[in-house]
Chain A
Amino acid sequence: MDAIDIRQYLLGQLPDDRQARVEEEFMVDDGIYTDLLVEEDEIIDDYLRGGLNPAERDSFERYFLAAPERRQKLAIARSFHAYIDARRKEPVDRRESAAEPWWRKWFGGGSSNFEMIAYAPLAATVIIAVIGGTWMYQRMEQARQSERVAQEQLLSLQQREMDLRKQVAQAESALTARNREAEARQSAMEQEIAQLKQQPSVARQAQTSIPVFAILPFSGRAAAKPAEVKVPSGATFIVLDLGLEEDDAVTYEAALLTDTGEEVRRWSRLTPDRIGDDRRLQIRVPTTNLRDGDYSLRLWGVVASGERSEAGRYDFTCKRLRAESEKRR
């Protein structure tokens, strides 16, 4: 009879004939009886430590524990194992001497060398695993680091490429806008030239008699009446003759605004004339820009350093004159 028979007997897993044989044997044989008692302890310990297979566990719960005495024994064993576990988990066992080598403590703080021997194969495996694992980890970490650097470089290059593309697009856009502006100016000039060529008499008339309107700067007085500009019928341009205040401006910029503040036209790099002590600025305004109504011409002076400051405001009321033939219509 071996321990397996006894174990199966205790778990009620033996057929009747073998069960009777075990019982007869432990009745007469002290050794078998003792083995039976020891095996009972082992089965309880295995149950508590999760060492029973599912069938054994089932038999244990349904058959082995049927007697109250066994349930009491299991309960005490559970407390007993809790006590052992608590002692096992103590970080530095009270039973140990202070001069104990570090490796003893590292292996669990036991008081005897039994545990060292018990742990030796496990410890060797752990050490090999730790060393191997560390080496592998370092290699993988190096590879990951290289990959990260490469990825960062790639991202940086991609970002630079995007920036350059954006700059090129902006430059192209600006160039296109300038080209369009130049084309528009050229087109306007060609149109003016063509108009002049098509209306030689008018042009001559305009050339000889472009109306000039002298306008004084706005003084700020409410009572001051704005200058009146009467645009003759058929006139292509008029000239606004502005009297300038003394300043250091080398050139001027001007903007013609309607009474609602809408900008009609803008001029730049206008150069003044000096007639005697007066400084005057003549601005040629196409009559196509003018309707009946109030206008304000704003003037800025630009000094040699490029700084720009307000140089005056010239208000006028425009009135377009109609030809006799137009009036009859």
Chain B
Amino acid sequence: MSKDWELTRELFEQLMDWLDPDRERAALEYERIRNRLVRFFITRGRAHAEDLADITINRVARKLPEILGTYQGEPVRYFYGIAKKVLLEDITDPPPPPPPPNKDGDEERTARLDCLDDCISKLNPHQREMVIDYYRFDKQAKILARKEMARKAGVSDSALKLQMHRLRSKLFDCVTSCLKKRENGDREKR
């Protein structure tokens, strides 16, 4: 599915106004909605989740002049309604079945480990300690260790979980970015 329709500056401004009169908050809301749309398409197994999220946003922006006077409710719910339609259209062209999860080559694995080393070394020592302590146990030991970790940090279990999720996401984003850079570097060499 192509984006087939680009967002004009005027429609974009209109969309941002609809999200929030304050431009900064509108930008945050835009990102928030986009992230949820991406997660929705990923969970539904779509291959180009980010593109589908952008298509959804463009369609909402296009429909905006029609609904501005009539639609009542949180904008995100409208986005979700459009996203479901985009999903149905995209499902007519189903993605290929996923490859077996263990199939990746030595080169890719090595690249990932190199990137991971780089990214972990960019964390401060305290963050590194946290990551290792948080993920080092399994099963019952994991639960007990995390509870103790939260107690020591003076935060709730869920707050610690969130903190660790953010740290991990930061790490994984760093690895993804590193891998992309390597891939681009390889392409340029060729």
* A49→B138 contact, CB < 8 A: yes
Cβ–Cβ contact A28 & B43, under 8 A: no
Give the size of the chain B interface in residues (CB under 8 angstroms).
59
Interface of A is mostly: helix
The digit string for B133-151, where 1 denotes a CB below 8 A from any CB of A, is 1011111111011101100
Q: Mark A4-36, 1 if CB is under 8 A from B, else 0.
A: 000001101000000000011011101001101
Q: Which residues 71-122 of B sit at the A interface, judged by CB distance below 8 A?
A: 74, 76-77, 79-80, 95, 97-101, 104, 108-109, 112-113, 116-117, 120
| Alpha-carbon distance between A181 and B87 when the two chains are bound, in angstroms | 118
Is B136 a contact partner of A110 (Cβ separation < 8 A)?
yes
* CA A45 to CA B135, docked complex, whole Å: 9
How distant is the Cα of A69 from the Cα of B101 in the complex, in angstroms?
Answer: 12
Q: A65-B98, A118-B142 are in contact. Are A81 and B175 (CB under 8 A)?
A: no
Assess whether B40 is interfacial by the CB under 8 Å rule.
Answer: yes
A74 with B79: in contact, given A37-B169, A118-B142 (CB under 8 Å)? no
- Are A71 and B99 in contact, with the CB atoms below 8 A? yes
Interface residues in A88-140 (C-beta closer than 8 Å to B): 88, 95, 110-115, 117-119, 121-122
User: What are the residues of chain A within 8 A of B43 when measuring CB–CB?
Assistant: 9-10, 67
Q: Is B172 on the interface with A (CB-CB < 8 A)? A: yes
Cα A215 to Cα B49 with chains together (Å) = 133
Residues of A in contact with B, size category: 35 or more
B27: A residues at CB distance < 8 A: none
User: Which chain B positions have C-beta within 8 A of A142?
Assistant: none
B182 on interface, CB distance cutoff 8 Å: no
Q: Is A147 an interface residue (CB 8 A)?
A: no
In the bound complex, how far is the Cα of B100 from the Cα of A81, in angstroms? 19
Q: A267 at the A/B interface (Cβ < 8 Å)?
A: no
Q: Are the CB atoms of A28 and B144 closer together than 8 Å? A: no
Chain B 30-63 residues near chain A, CB threshold 8 A: 32-33, 35-36, 39-43, 45-47, 49
Give residues in B with beta carbon < 8 Å to A.
Answer: 32-33, 35-36, 39-43, 45-47, 49, 74, 76-77, 79-80, 95, 97-101, 104, 108-109, 112-113, 116-117, 120, 129, 131-133, 135-142, 144-146, 148-149, 152, 161-162, 165, 168-169, 171-172, 175-176
Q: Kindly list the 8 A-B residue pairs having the minimum CB-CB distance in the complex, ordered from nearest.
A: A66-B45, A118-B145, A118-B141, A114-B145, A67-B42, A118-B144, A79-B112, A65-B98
